[in-house]
Every structure is written in structure tokens, then in C-alpha cells.
Chains A and B, each alone.
Chain A
Amino acid sequence: MSNTVLNLENIAIGYQSSKKEHIICRNIYFNLYQGELVCLLGRNGSGKSTLLKTIANMLPTLQGSITINQIDYSNLSALDFAKNISIVLTESLPENSLTVFETIALGRQPYTNWLGKITEEDEQIVLNAMELTDTVSLKNNFVNQLSDGQLQRVMIARALAQDTPIILLDEPTSHLDIHHKINIFKILRKISKETQKTILISTHEINLALKNSDRLLLIDNHTFSIGNVQESKIQDKLTSIFNSDDIKYDAKSNQFIF
């Protein structure tokens, strides 16, 4: 494998209220490498979002340490994070009159001057992001008038324009129909191959994840595992997490049948 971009060392994730810690999962350790697409799978409430938020530094790390390109999180400023990790969230945007271009251009903020002036170079990066996500034709539309599928592509373009080695996506295909789900995964696949960015997606789309990801990150019952879908330990884990009377993993076709 190529360069390690992200390294988690003995991490515990969870929530911290004023007095006590609520740990969801501990002893998490793994590396993410340049240019790979990793899907994070797990049942509802297993800690997928919590892990993603911890990596995004939106939640504090309760134990252990995370490094990004060999630099520890504690040594990174808010601006350093903005230049290293971009996110696509499930939350809807507040009401505004931003155009698609303006929204994507906001991704350039960590690099623009104190007035947020978009230079020609910034504009080129924004246009590239639009081409990769197939949003060029939407350029002058208002984001509040887009369909869910279009909006999700715009938010991915915004993350791309932020030009970070790592992109985190929290359930990017919820609310979308099957065509758009496949389309989003195809775009993400293309981005990871063409830009060599590391992409981590938390998702409930097991079959799409099996088909499109380089590796799977499984989290369940306070334990986690990471690996290629060909590995038997990953297949066993998949079976133990998701198999039931209604749904079964079929190793031969590498998909769940229900």
C-alpha cells in the first residue's frame, strides 16, 4: 500500500458530558492510505457517526491519539484541520440564497485572503470540482432549489474544492433513490482514483459498499475490524453483524441477498 494518511492509535470514541464519559467503542486502531475508498458499516447506534465526528475533530478523542500525515491532532490548528479534512454531513443547509458556484467556492475559504477573494486559481479548482461531480450545468442555480441528489453532488464538490487529503462523508446516500445512490458511489470512486484523495464513507448501503470500496471498516458491539472483503475475517464479521432470517451474505457473489 501507498502512503499512510491517517493513523488512529488505540482510540476510544464516545460522548463526554460535563461529568462522565460515555464510551461507545475503544481500542480502535487502523491506518487509512492515500487514494483509497473505505466504507464504514455498522448497525444504527453502533458508533459510525461518532467515529466519523471524532476523526473530523468535531468530538474530542477520549483516549489514544490520531495523526494525520504524521502530525498529531493536538498540534493542529482549526485552519490546519480545514486544510486536511473536509466533510459532507447529513444535516440540511439553513435557508440562504447561495448559488451552486458560491457554495462550492466556500470550500476555498481556508486558502483565500481575509476578504475571501476568489482568485483565478481558486476558480479553476472550483470548476474542476464541478466537473468531477457533474455539477457544471447547475453552476448558477440556487442551492435551496436543488433536488436531494443534486445537492449531495454539490456538497461533495464543495468538499473537493477544499482540497484536503481526506474527505469524510456521513451517510451521503440517505434520502436518495437507487439511481442516485449508485451515481454518488460512482462519483466518489472516480474522485478517489483521479485525485488520490482518501475517502471514508459511513453508509447503510451494504451492497454498494461491498462493490465500490477498497476496504471495509466494520463497527459493532464495541468492537471493530478493518480489511478487504476477500478476507475471511471480514466476511465472518459481516455475517455476524448483518445476517438474520431476512438477509444473508453470499460470499460467492459478494453481496447480501434478501
Chain B
Amino acid sequence: MHSIQKKYYSSFIALTLLLFALIFINISSGSLTIPFKEIWNALFSTTTTNENYQYIITNYRLPKSFTSILTGIGLGISGLLMQTYFRNPLAGPFVLGISSGASLGVALLIMGGSFLGILPYINGLSIPIASSLGAFLVLSIVMITARNIRNTMSILIIGLMFGSFTSAIISILSYFSSASELQQYIFWSFGSLSNLQWNQIYLLGFVITISCISLFTIIKPLDALLLGENYAKSLGISLKKTQTVVFIITSLLTGSITAFVGPIAFIGLAIPHITKLVFKTSNHKTLLPAVAIIGAIVMLVCDTLSHISLGNKNLPINAITSLFGAPVVIWLLVSRSKKTT
């Protein structure tokens, strides 16, 4: 087995180098292009040549790069967990109702705020809180409903049903809300990687680190699940325990990311597939770090694209990820159906 693992070392080294190169490109690009030398100085040397560059980098560009990397890692890993657990290539981090719950929370806050009389309290922190609460609420309902269901496909469908249910409520809310409220909600749903302060990034980074450490406890069950539930059980795997750990990690990762940067579409679904094309393995000891690093790379590319595409007007990050993710998913479906016929 170690010989099989070894052949991926060079891929990992190449991807890490690519990641660092992309961090520089990402920091450099924007309405004001910063030369690489200035970035190097700002990050690694004590002698600052340009105060303005230094300020932009530490307060705007670097937080944005870190947010992109954390988002890519978290959503990529959640996507892989869901696809392995449900043994369904079309499962993603949002199948448990996390995204719809978060959207419901934010929609209630922004569009229902005037009814509920909480309008004056809307600020930078209330949106992450509302989104976390919404995600947690819908996730709990899905998990309670799914508790006694042994068929994983049914859990998948229940998650999707709750998704449509919450989007119906959001439609009703939007119908009765004012234009400015609607606009504020739409802007949240576009997603944004550039709104985070350093202390929020530390919090996000902490949650993602904890989740990644807990992944070590489920590497074996995940590999066993590649043979199906019955074989996994015959290998001594506790399906109930695995399900609990997988769901908790996924909701921590996806929930915290959605709370801070909004519902980022497609990344969680597409990254595991791209990774499996590069690495051609199902072994989670290889796939999990690979998904993390490729997720980070793709998010950095998407963020960079959103900044250079229209000069000083930034495209919403969700538009970029979908523009990028949708063709991947379509291509996957086409190539899959070709294989079976």
C-alpha cells in the first residue's frame, strides 16, 4: 500500500507549489495591481517599501486569500464526505439542508426583520448568527427525521425536500418584502469572500482545523464504505457512529463557511470529482488532503477571476463558481452515461 501512496508525492508537491504561486497572483490582482516584489516584502521582510501596499495587503488582500483557501478546503472536504457517505456522485455539502437553512435564517433576518422588529439590530455579526441558527435548525430537523431511516438514499431525498420547503418560504418572504430588503438578501446570496475581519478568519480557521483533525477517526470507515454498507458492517464498522461523525464534521465545515461567506455553489460538488480525475484513487488517506489542496486552489482561481474580469467592478463569487462548476457537472453526467451505454 505504501508504494501506491508514494506515487502521489510528486502530485502533492506540484499542487503545493501551484497553491503558493496562486496566493501571490491572488494578492497581486485587484483594482490596484501590486507587484510580486512588494508582496514578498510585505509578507516576509520587516523593511516596508510602501506603506499603502502594506496596508492593502494585510487588511484586504491577505484576509481574502485566507478566506478563499479555508472555503475551498472546507467545502471540498464536505463534498467528498457526502459523496462517499451517500455513495452518490451528485451529493454535495448542502444535501443535509445546511444551505437552505442558512438562507432561511438570513432571509428571515433581512426580509422578515421589519415584521419581527429586529431591524435595528442588523449588523455585520447578525448575518453570520442568523445563518448559523437557520442552518443548525434545518439540519437538526433533517437529522431527527432521518434518525430511524436506514436507507441512506431516503436521507438524501429528505434533505432535498427540506431544501425545496425552505426555498418556498423564502419566496413568500421575498414576495412581501421591499426592494431594498430584497436587494440586501440577494447580495448575501451572491456570496462574498472579502467581508471577513482577521478575528473572524481565526474563528473559521479554528473550526476547520478541528474538523480536519477529527477526519482521522473516520478514514477507515470511509474506505470501508467504498464497498457498500453491508461489507463495511462486516468489517466491524459502526454505521451509526460513522454517520454521526460525518454529519457533524460536514455541518461544522459547511455551516461555518456559509455563515461567514454565504452559500457558495458547486464547489463542494465539483472539487471531489476534479480531485478524483487527477488522483485516480478512492483511498481517503490520499483523497482527503488532495481535495483540501485542490479546493483551496480552485477557490483562489475563482476569487482571482472575480477580481480581474471586469476591471474595478467585481463579479459575485457565486456566479464565478457556478460558471465554472456547472460545466464540470454536466460533463460528468455526459461522460458517465457514455460509460454505461
Contacts from A to B (Cβ < 8 Å): 56, 58, 77-79, 81-83, 85-87, 89, 91, 93-99, 101-103, 105-107, 109-110, 112, 114-118, 123, 158, 162
Within residues 187 to 218 of chain B, which ones have a CB less than 8 A from any CB in chain A?
216-217
Q: Could you list 12 A-B pairs, sorted by A, with CB under 8 Å?
A: A58-B234, A78-B233, A81-B234, A81-B236, A87-B230, A93-B227, A94-B228, A96-B282, A97-B281, A98-B283, A106-B226, A158-B227
A114 and B220 contacting across the interface, CB-CB below 8 Å: yes
A86-B232 Cα distance, complex, nearest whole Å = 11
For residue B6, CB closer than 8 A to chain A, the reply is no
CA A114 to CA B216, docked complex, whole Å: 8
Contact of A89 with B231 at beta-carbon distance under 8 Å, contacts A78-B237, A82-B236, A96-B226 already known: yes
User: Would A58 and B233 be within 8 Å (CB), given that A97-B281, A114-B217, A116-B220 are in contact?
Assistant: yes
Give complex CA distance A82, B235 in Å: 5
B219 on interface, CB distance cutoff 8 Å: yes
* Cβ–Cβ contact A115 & B216, under 8 A: yes
Residues of B within 8 A of A118 (CB): 1-2
Chain B residues close to A by CB (< 8 Å)? 1-2, 4, 87, 89, 216-217, 219-220, 223-224, 226-228, 230-231, 233-238, 276, 280-283, 285
Closest to B239 in A: A78
Q: Report chain A residues within 8 Å CB of B233.
A: 58, 78
Q: Looking at the assembled complex, report how far the CB atom of B339 sits from the nearest CB atom of chain A, in whole angstroms.
A: 10
What residue in chain A is nearest B287 (Cβ atoms)?
A97
Q: Which of B220, B235, B281 is the one whose CB lies under 8 Å from A115?
A: B220
**Contact among A95, A102, A107 for B235, CB-based, below 8 A:** A107
Contact B282 A112 (CB under 8 A): no
Across the interface, do A116 and B219 meet the contact criterion of CB distance under 8 Å?
yes
When distances are taken between beta carbons in the complex, the residues of chain A under 8 Å from B282 are: 96-98, 102
Q: Does A87 lie within 8 Å of B227, measured CB to CB?
A: no
Are B276 and A97 in contact, CB atoms less than 8 angstroms apart? yes
How many interface contacts (CB-CB < 8 Å) are there between A and B? 86
A103 contacts across to B, CB distance below 8 A? 227
Q: Please, which residues of chain B bring their CB within 8 A of the CB of A97? A: 276, 280-282
Give the nearest-CB partner of A142 in chain B.
Answer: B280
> Smallest CB–CB gap between B101 and chain A, Å?
28
B219:A115 contact, CB within 8 angstroms: yes
From A116, which residue of chain B is reached at the shortest CB distance? Answer: B220
Query: CB within 8 A of A82: which of B87, B89, B216, B234?
Result: B234
User: A116-B219, A123-B1 are contacts. A98–B230 as well, Cβ < 8 Å?
Assistant: no
A109 touches B224 (CB 8 A): yes
Chain B residues in 8 Å Cβ range of A107: 235
Q: A79-B236, A95-B89, A115-B219 given. 17 additional CB < 8 A pairs?
A: A82-B235, A83-B236, A87-B230, A94-B228, A96-B226, A97-B281, A98-B282, A98-B283, A102-B282, A106-B226, A109-B224, A109-B236, A110-B235, A110-B236, A112-B220, A115-B285, A116-B285
Interface residues of A: mostly helix, strand, loop or mixed? loop
CA A182 to CA B224, docked complex, whole Å: 30
Task: List the B residue with the shortest CB-CB distance to A81.
Answer: B236
Chain B residues with CB under 8 Å of A99's CB are 4
Q: A residues within 8 A CB of B217? A: 114
Residues A102 and B4 in contact in the complex (CB < 8 Å), given A87-B234, A89-B230, A110-B235: yes
How many angstroms from the CA of A82 to the CA of B224 in the assembled complex?
Answer: 12
Contact call B235/A106, Cβ cutoff below 8 A: yes
Question: How many Å lie between the Cα of A149 and that of B220 in the bound state?
Answer: 28
A95 to B2, CA, bound (A): 23
Considering only CB atoms, which chain B residue lies closest to A87 in the complex? B234
* Inter-chain contacts of B237 with A (CB < 8 A): 78, 109
With both beta carbons as reference points, the residue of chain A lying nearest to B148 in the complex is identified as A18
A58 to B282 Cα, complex, angstroms: 26
A87 to B283, CA, bound (A): 22
Partner of A102, one of B2, B231, B283: B283
* CB-defined contacts of B238 to chain A, threshold 8 Å: 78
CB closest chain-A residue, reference B2: A118
Q: Within the assembled complex, what's the spacing in Å between the Cα atoms of A95 and B83?
A: 11
CA of A93 to CA of B282, assembled, Å: 13
CA distance in complex: A115, B2 (Å)? 13
Inter-chain contact B228/A93, CB cutoff 8 Å: yes
Residues of A contacting B235 in the complex (Cβ-Cβ under 8 angstroms)? 82, 106-107, 109-110, 162
Q: How far is the CA of A173 from the CA of B265 in the complex (A)?
A: 45
Cβ-neighbour of B220 out of A81, A85, A109 (below 8 A): A109
Do B234 and A85 touch (CB < 8 A)?
yes
List of B residues within 8 angstroms of A117 by Cβ: 1
Bound together, the chains give a CA A102 to CA B284 distance in angstroms of: 12
Contacts of A87 in B (CB 8 A): 230-231, 234
Tell me the bound Cα distance from A118 to B1 in angstroms.
Answer: 6
In chain A, what residue has the closest Cβ to B279? A97
CA distance A145 to B226 in the complex (A): 15
Question: Which of A86, A95, A101, A158 has the most chain B CB atoms inside 10 A of its CB?
Answer: A95
Chain A positions within 8 Å of B224 at CB level: 106, 109
B284 to chain A, nearest CB (A): 9
CA distance A158 to B224 in the complex (A): 12
Distance in Å: Cβ of A172 to nearest Cβ of chain B: 14
Closest Cβ of chain B to A90, distance in Å, is 10
Q: Please name all residues of chain B whose beta carbon is closer than 8 Å to the beta carbon of A98 when the two chains form the complex.
A: 226, 282-283
Q: What is the CA–CA distance of A162 and B236 in the complex, to the nearest angstrom?
A: 11
